Amino acid sequence: MFEDEEKILFKEERYEIWGAAQEVHFTLGNGFLEQVYQDAFEKELQLRGIPYKREQYLQITYKGQVINHTYKADFLCYGKIVVEMKAVTKLNENHLAQTLNYLAATGLEVALVANFGAKRFESKWIIKSRDRNNIHEIEKAVD
């Protein structure tokens, strides 16, 4: 976790995105397919005026070189924060590892993994340190 409030990367944007996701779960509850939550989240982003792109293709680099494959983020908010949506009973390490890999491969620094399938809204922030490129040194922060 973060001790110094000023060190929280994209603090205001993260707060807005998390609030939108929380509202979707509060309104719909659990039990729908992921696509339903994606549609509702998109509407909530629009209502809140949060800039986003849905199903945004992001280039993947390997050792500084762009490769032919791309990664499709569920949402890219503010042009810099990935939102990965799930509708599963519980998030697991594979969901987080997938998102960690996306951050490392795209050069982005922040992602929210939001799970709408649990009875209680479940989310995890994935933060890639600005001064490290090693995937093993990426920090995970949990809301």
Residue with token string 């976790």:
1
End-to-end CA distance of the chain: 10
Distance CA 21, CA 96 (A): 17
Residue ranges in the chain modelled with pLDDT below 50: 1-3, 5, 132-143
pTM attached to this predicted model: 0.83
Q: List, in order, residues 6 or more apart from 86 with CB less than 8 Å away.
A: 34, 95, 113, 114, 115, 116, 117
**pLDDT value for 4:** 52
Could you tell me where the DSSP H helices lie in the chain? 11-28, 34-48, 93-106
**pLDDT value for 131:** 54
**pLDDT value for 61:** 86
Question: Residue 44: which of 61, 72, 22 has the closest Cα?
Answer: 22
